[in-house]
Amino acid sequence: MEWETVIGLEIHAQLATNSKIFSGSSTAYGAEPNTQASLVDLGMPGVLPVLNKKAVEMAIRFGLAINATITPRSVFARKNYFYPDLPKGYQISQFELPVVAQGYLDIELDDGSSKRIGVTRAHLEEDAGKSLHEDFHGKTGIDLNRAGTPLLEIVSEPDLRSAKEAVAYMKKMHALVRYLGVCDGNMQEGSFRCDANVSVRKPGQPFGTRAEIKNLNSFRFIERAIHYEVERQIELLESGGKVIQETRLYDPDQGETRSMRSKEDANDYRYFPDPDLLPVEITATEIEAIRATLPELPTAKKQRFMQTYHLGSYEADALTSSSELGDYFERVAQGTQDAKLAANWLMGGLAALLNKHELEISAAPVAAETLTQLLNRIKDQTLSSTAAKDVLEALWQGEGSVDAIIEAKGLKQISDTSAIEAMLDEIIANNPSQVAEYRSGKDKLFAFFVGQAMRASKGKANPSTVNDILKQKLEG
Ligand SMILES: Nc1ncnc2c1ncn2[C@@H]1O[C@H](COP(=O)(O)OP(=O)(O)OP(=O)(O)O)[C@@H](O)[C@H]1O
Ligand SMILES: [Mg+2]
Ligand SMILES: [Mg+2]
């Protein structure tokens, strides 16, 4: 019997607050080491944490978006462990009573069906500092700028059954937190990362022992790390070994996971309620006030796109992957009155340029209004699709307006029937044998004449006009 993969993800989303979760220090990324660490972040004795209300609101906002229960009275707990980047000797987190409890997220599978992934909990906690091993005078340094940065840890049920599903879930969460504005989603800077818990079992058997792969901060790494880990566990089990519960690190250069330390159980952390912080009381009125500010969420937007613009599920999914992309699409679809054309260009030519330059839609040098003008030049037959691609490239390079570029490059399509007619008469006169062959039944030669016309016009003849007139002339 085949092995089945079981995965649960713990996602750490850095909340987009300006200041830390228990102190007033800035959370801005990239400052000089230890310039953004207050006495509270340093864990000095005698100072007290003060909870950042914004962080709680963001957690609730997230909870509502995954249809979760918001805990009316949640509690901060101390999670005790020693590590050089954790000056207090404990991390303030939530344990028994997290602010967000039991929700779910639906993901799309390749076969077009959807699957519901349970979210066990999402709790607030503070991030630790960073150990700097490189470029530090041959020593290890500690940077506590990150200490106290607010995190939302989103813990999934072990409902994921493949690396692919794990990535689909991670991507959907990534889109969601950005829609909600609760996390900037910057994975390179570690604002959105996950620990993947992986085990294997024979179908029908109880869950196997999990290994936890720490701090995966790219979708590609998640997929590769899980693949590697699944293979490792299967090999181990098939050769009579046992998987041990441990924390592993993924090494992207070697493409493998390596044991870091054996994994503590919850009771090793000696969790207890933090006596310095009051329980967080959340009223129904507060919850409803936050609910009222929720934007249209990706799933609802996707449904609307499918209905309003008659898009397929795949297109609608791609175009709602960020709210900026969705807005851009809607502006072009409305400006051109042609959603299909807009979708094709956003997912085709424009997506290719964005990929090539590794840019998000919000940083695209071609605005929605400009792409609209370009597509309208296809619709009014000024441009062929091929010529329009050249214009898009030129727009991207900042070479001027749509019409200026068409003019400068001489890309204007010839739709004038008398000009096309004259050109076709000449082609027919110059190719008598092909004409005879065509008329005696060699239909394929039609393409030859179209080709001649396109060549003669340097690609500028309107293909559909050419087709129409050519048909009349050859057959009439
Ligand atoms: N047998 C299993 N195989 C795969 N995943 C599992 C298995 N059992 C539990 N999980 C997943 O492991 C994760 C456990 O996360 P949780 O935060 O509850 O505990 P933890 O990893 O022990 O704590 P910590 O936050 O200290 O890392 C969940 O996502 C859960 O779905
Ligand atoms: Mg864990
Ligand atoms: Mg956890």
Q: Which residue has the higher pLDDT, 32 or 1?
A: 32
Dihedral sign computed on CA atoms, order 16, 17, 19, 22: negative
Going by alpha carbons, the residue nearest to atom 28 of ligand 1 is 8
Q: What is the pLDDT of residue 268?
A: 84
Q: Give the span between the Cα atoms of 81 and 91, in whole angstroms.
A: 8
CB atoms within 10 A of CB 289: 12
Please name each of the domains of the chain with its CATH number: 4-284 (no CATH), 298-409 (no CATH), 417-475 (1.10.10.410)
pLDDT in tens, 316-343: 999 999 999 999 999 999 999 999 999 9
Residues ≥6 apart with Cβ < 8 Å to 414:
420, 457, 460, 461, 462, 465
**Closest alpha carbon to 203 in 420, 5, 369:** 5
CA of 195 to the centre of ligand 2 (A): 6
Q: Give the span between the Cα atoms of 126 and 20, in whole angstroms.
A: 8
CA of 264, closest atom in ligand 1: 22
* CA-based radius of gyration for the chain: 30
CB atoms within 10 A of CB 318: 17
Q: What is the pLDDT of residue 26?
A: 97
Q: Which residue has the higher pLDDT, 174 or 464?
A: 174
The answer to whether the beta carbons of residues 113 and 120 sit under 8 Å apart is no
Q: What is the pLDDT of residue 266?
A: 67
pLDDT in tens, 39-93: 999 999 999 999 999 999 999 999 999 999 999 999 999 999 999 999 999 999 9
**Closest alpha carbon to 272 in 21, 71, 75:** 75
> Is residue 459's pLDDT more than 90?
no
Ligand nearest to the CA of 265: 1
417-430 vs 432-439: helix crossing angle, rounded to 10: 100
CA of 268 to the centre of ligand 2 (A): 13
Ligand 3 is an ion; residues with CB less than 5 A from it? 10
* Residue carrying the six token digits 């030129």: 394
Q: Give the span between the Cα atoms of 418 and 179, in whole angstroms.
A: 53
Q: Please give all residues whose beta carbon lies within 6 A of any atom in ligand 1, as ranges.
A: 6-10, 155-158, 197-199, 207-208, 210, 212, 266
Mean pLDDT of 285-291: 98
pLDDT in tens, 419-448: 889 999 999 999 999 999 999 988 899 999
